[in-house]
Chain A
């Protein structure tokens, strides 16, 4: 059974700091990995999607890496801003007959002005 873990559960940083969010998964049989952002009481916004054959993806100040063999992904946020405050969720799309997104519990990020 695929399990996704995100560490830390919460993170508070001053504005302007570079930061890294971590995600690990137990089964390497995945199609892809996605990072999402969720604002309080809202739906999910897709940030980056990395196919299983890829190593990283970049979008603006965000960079996500994937090491499928070790079951790890990181989301790097450069020059953090107060508007980046949200919960960040990592999800893997599982293989094996029951394709579905399996989510971690998220990292709640607070960027202080």
Chain B
């Protein structure tokens, strides 16, 4: 059974540009969550999507957005990139919505390493 896949694995952008990252969940999983990992702040929750709807959102500016498609694949977009957006972006999927108490264990992908110059 294939795990969570994320594309691209590495990205280099310059300040002011925008970027789109993609996440394909494990087959049968309907919830996708996104996290940002930096050396200073550690892992921080960005948002969760379930059945194409954003359920929860972390404390990030509006430049960070996402969406989920009918096949559960998800994308996140960061507009007007800043140097501080350089990070490892991790996606996680679960069969059910997070916090449902059943089948909500999250499985993580390998991440996308974004470097902003």
Chain A residues bordering chain B, tally (CB within 8 A): 23
State which of A46, A93, A95, A103 has its C-beta within 8 Å of the C-beta of B43: A103
Given contacts A41-B113, A89-B43, contact A99 B98 (CB under 8 A): yes
The digit string for B94-105, where 1 denotes a CB below 8 A from any CB of A, is 000111010011
Cα-based distance from A49 to B109 in the complex (angstroms): 17
Chain A residues near B104 (CB, 8 Å)? Answer: 31, 93
B90 near A: Cβ within 8 Å? yes
A-B contact count (CB 8 A): 58
Chain B residues near A98 (CB, 8 Å)? Answer: 56
Chain B residues near A100 (CB, 8 Å)? Answer: 33, 45, 48, 56, 58, 98
Taking Cβ atoms with an 8 Å cutoff, the residues of A that contact B are: 31, 34, 36, 41-46, 49, 89, 91, 93, 95, 98-106
7 tightest Cβ-Cβ pairs between the two chains A and B = A99-B99, A103-B43, A44-B108, A100-B45, A43-B110, A43-B108, A105-B42
